[in-house]
Chains A and B, each alone.
Chain A
Amino acid sequence: MAISYLRRAYSSFAAHVFDIPPRLMAVLFFLILLLLPTCGLSSYYMWILIYANIIAIFALSWDLLVGRTGLISLGHALFFGIGGYSTALLFRHYGLPLWITIPVAVLLGALAGMIIGFPCLRVKGPYLALVTMAFPLIVSNIIKWSPLNPVFKGEIGIRASPFFPFLPIRQQRIAEYYLTLLLLFISAVIIYKIANSKTGIVFISILDDEVAAKACGINVTKYKIMSFIISSMFASLAGSIQAHFLKNANPSMFSLTLSFVPIIVTFLGGIGSIYGAIVGTYIYYILDKYVLIYLLPVLLRNFNLALPRGFEHAKLIIFTSIVLIFIIRWPRGIARYVTDKLQDLEEARDLDERGPRIWKRYKKKEKS
């Protein structure tokens, strides 16, 4: 009785929520993000949110490469690290301000994408994944190599300039939050536009069937390199922002864990959907830094329990199992699940969200 009532209440609630058009949903999401700092969050939570913004850019870039073009990269941290290190080196050796270091880091990231892209595209599928995984390991070992310590400072890393050194710490966090949010917004719009352009269609065609794309007269290598370059540019931007934010670039920027973060978050949000990467990143960081570090210990304390020591190291296990569950149960991700509901309700929007929006425009033209 009660269950059926609850179910009915839920379905009417769902009907209302899922009736909101996706564009409005996106606007609402960004509005919430805009208003978050006004809630009087502590410096630590601001730190989490800023970090989530940065990683969202990184995850977006991974999603364009893997979710849209089908080039599996397990070493995306390479571009992140290149962005971070080039920023820090430019600051340390030439004392350049951040409005020069960030664009230069992005350009260097694009160059790295091109250089890495050419040899990588000789191999396909799982082999490509393995080859890309090797590169950040090689680079991080070069950086840790002792003869190069005067340049790279080994494990300690290089200092970089903070974003707003002239502000008090609390205002600094808020300013950094808005800056990273703005950069995230710009990157999201650019990547979304690219993914839904005619070039984006070609990217999806390569993901679907490379041989057929060749038979359509598409220079597949050119488009793959293009995808690699765009992706590495944004990954490098994220790395560069992180170096400024943490005031440091160190070898952990090339770590395997960081390469896996975009995989985890895009599978949470929905691979190949662009917006899924952003939603997934926020879910991941709230789970990672809030639920597991703060909420869970507090809950356990009520039952006179404590988390075992070294729990931080077990977190990756938890997240990979979450991803596993998602791959099996909801392979299209959380954000996709919501949009699928939207589409079920509105028949006009019953087309695959993964595809570009051009046919919708066409539909509108036909009606008029």
Chain B
Amino acid sequence: MHLLEVDNLTKRFGGLTAVNNVSFHVDEGEIVGIIGPNGAGKTTLFNLISGFIKPDSGIVKFKGEDITGLSPHKIVNKGIARTFQVVRPFRHLPVIANVMVALKSPRGTKNIEWLKTMERKAADILEDVGLSEVMLEPAENVSHGDLKRLEIAKALATEPDLLLLDEPFGGLNPLEVNYLTKSIIRMHLDEPTRGILIVEHKLHALMKIVKRVIVLHQGEKIAEGTPEEIAKNQKVIEVYMGKAI
């Protein structure tokens, strides 16, 4: 049984088919990347999995259970957490309280060990992603790179079995990309059974982390394989570079 199974997922927006018959799976402890040019339907695919958009057809199965069309908060409490491409912090709250919102969800509360306060747990999570210095700052005063990490901290607070990262490297400088790459690898080593699904444009950073890559183009899956296979795949090169004249 796969951790996440996506079967023939289709979503149309009017005449545009954003996601067309996409099927793939993620196993326990696997890091999978999704790449594709702009408008390939990567974020729509994420929204479909996490329940923010209802699919027109197709099934999403999580741990063998059909979760298609469930509301987003229910899916989070089943164990799929996501981050957003554009950071969505709670601006009026300090960074630590941002994480505490996620800890206040049923799954987040359940996973707090006995005799441990919510504040302590939130501080521990922030320490893991390297935000302990700005912990008490209001989120609106924090830099973009830190907000990206805060997104991940919020997702981690519910202790997901599957983590969906939507362009975690977007808008980061090379140094921050490097740091985040390391922390994603560390996250993976800390919790080896957790599956991670990453949508990313920065292929160089992505290829270092993932074991398997799925390529989307105009809503369709055009290739799947290890990073080396994908780099050599003629179709993928055509999509990214254009055809040879």
Given A214-B72, A217-B106, verify A352-B101 contact (CB < 8 Å). Answer: no
B108 & A215 in contact (Cβ 8 Å cutoff) = no
Given A351-B136, A358-B100, verify A201-B93 contact (CB < 8 Å). Answer: yes
A-contact bits for B154-173, CB 8 A (1 contact / 0 none): 11011000000000000000
Q: Is the interface of A mostly helix, strand, loop or mixed?
A: helix
A202 interface residue per 8 A CB criterion: yes
A351 & B81 in contact (Cβ 8 Å cutoff) = no
A204 interface residue per 8 A CB criterion: yes
User: Known pairs A205-B90, A214-B73, A361-B119. 16 more at Cβ < 8 A?
Assistant: A198-B104, A201-B93, A201-B100, A204-B92, A205-B93, A212-B154, A215-B76, A215-B83, A215-B154, A216-B108, A219-B73, A351-B137, A352-B94, A355-B97, A358-B97, A362-B135
Chain B residues with CB under 8 Å of A199's CB are: 104
Bound together, the chains give a CA A43 to CA B94 distance in angstroms of 47
Q: Would you mind naming 25 contact pairs between A and B with Cβ atoms under 8 Å apart? A: A198-B104, A201-B93, A201-B101, A205-B90, A207-B92, A208-B90, A208-B91, A209-B88, A211-B88, A212-B84, A214-B52, A214-B71, A215-B52, A216-B76, A216-B101, A217-B105, A217-B106, A218-B73, A219-B73, A351-B137, A355-B92, A356-B93, A359-B94, A362-B96, A362-B136
Among A201, A205, A216, A358, the residue within 8 A (CB) of B157 is A216
Bound together, the chains give a CA A207 to CA B71 distance in angstroms of 19
Q: For chain A, residues 315 to 367, give those with C-beta under 8 angstroms from any C-beta of chain B.
A: 351-352, 354-356, 358-359, 361-363
Given A216-B154, A218-B104, A219-B73, verify A363-B136 contact (CB < 8 Å). Answer: yes
Q: Considering the complex, give the chain A residue whose CB is closest to the CB of B79.
A: A217
A220 interface residue per 8 A CB criterion: yes
B82 interface residue per 8 A CB criterion: yes
Bound together, the chains give a CA A61 to CA B234 distance in angstroms of 64
A212 & B158 in contact (Cβ 8 Å cutoff) = no
What's the minimum C-beta distance from B75 to chain A, rounded to whole angstroms?
9
Binding site for B on A (CB under 8 A): 198-199, 201-202, 204-205, 207-209, 211-220, 351-352, 354-356, 358-359, 361-363
Bound together, the chains give a CA A220 to CA B105 distance in angstroms of 10
What's the minimum C-beta distance from B3 to chain A, rounded to whole angstroms?
18
Chain B residues with CB under 8 Å of A208's CB are: 89-93
Bound together, the chains give a CA A361 to CA B96 distance in angstroms of 12
Chain B residues with CB under 8 Å of A363's CB are: 136
B43 interface residue per 8 A CB criterion: no
A-contact bits for B93-137, CB 8 A (1 contact / 0 none): 110111011101111100000000011000100000000000111
Q: For chain B, residues 130 to 159, give those with C-beta under 8 angstroms from any C-beta of chain A.
A: 135-138, 154-155, 157-158
> What total of chain B residues lie within 8 Å of the partner, measured CB to CB?
40
B50 interface residue per 8 A CB criterion: yes
Number of A-B contacts (CB under 8 A): 113
B218 interface residue per 8 A CB criterion: no
What's the minimum C-beta distance from B177 to chain A, rounded to whole angstroms?
23
Chain A residues with CB under 8 Å of B157's CB are: 216
Bound together, the chains give a CA A109 to CA B97 distance in angstroms of 31
B85 interface residue per 8 A CB criterion: no
B77 interface residue per 8 A CB criterion: yes
Chain A residues with CB under 8 Å of B135's CB are: 359, 362
Given A201-B93, A201-B101, verify A220-B73 contact (CB < 8 Å). Answer: yes
Bound together, the chains give a CA A362 to CA B104 distance in angstroms of 17
Bound together, the chains give a CA A296 to CA B16 distance in angstroms of 66
Bound together, the chains give a CA A211 to CA B101 distance in angstroms of 13
What's the minimum C-beta distance from B107 to chain A, rounded to whole angstroms?
6
Q: Considering the complex, give the chain A residue whose CB is closest to the CB of B97.
A: A201
What's the minimum C-beta distance from B97 to chain A, rounded to whole angstroms?
5
B119 & A352 in contact (Cβ 8 Å cutoff) = no
Residue from B81, B91, B118, B158 with most neighbouring chain A CB atoms (10 Å): B91
Chain A residues with CB under 8 Å of B84's CB are: 211-212, 215
A216 & B136 in contact (Cβ 8 Å cutoff) = no
Among A209, A212, A354, A359, the residue within 8 A (CB) of B96 is A359
Given A211-B52, A216-B158, A358-B119, verify A202-B138 contact (CB < 8 Å). Answer: no
Chain B residues with CB under 8 Å of A220's CB are: 73
Chain A residues with CB under 8 Å of B72's CB are: 214-215
What's the minimum C-beta distance from B80 to chain A, rounded to whole angstroms?
10
Bound together, the chains give a CA A219 to CA B118 distance in angstroms of 18
A216 & B102 in contact (Cβ 8 Å cutoff) = yes
Given A198-B100, A359-B136, verify A216-B92 contact (CB < 8 Å). Answer: no
What's the minimum C-beta distance from B89 to chain A, rounded to whole angstroms?
7
Given A201-B100, A215-B50, verify A362-B119 contact (CB < 8 Å). Answer: yes
Q: Considering the complex, give the chain A residue whose CB is closest to the CB of B75.
A: A217
A217 & B76 in contact (Cβ 8 Å cutoff) = yes
B88 & A202 in contact (Cβ 8 Å cutoff) = no
Among B88, B118, B137, the residue within 8 A (CB) of A215 is B88
Closest 6 pairs between A and B when the two form their complex, measured CB to CB: A217-B105, A217-B76, A212-B88, A216-B102, A208-B90, A214-B72
What's the minimum C-beta distance from B155 to chain A, rounded to whole angstroms?
8
B89 & A212 in contact (Cβ 8 Å cutoff) = yes
Given A356-B97, A362-B123, verify A351-B105 contact (CB < 8 Å). Answer: no
Q: Considering the complex, give the chain B residue whose CB is closest to the CB of A353.
A: B92
Bound together, the chains give a CA A230 to CA B70 distance in angstroms of 28
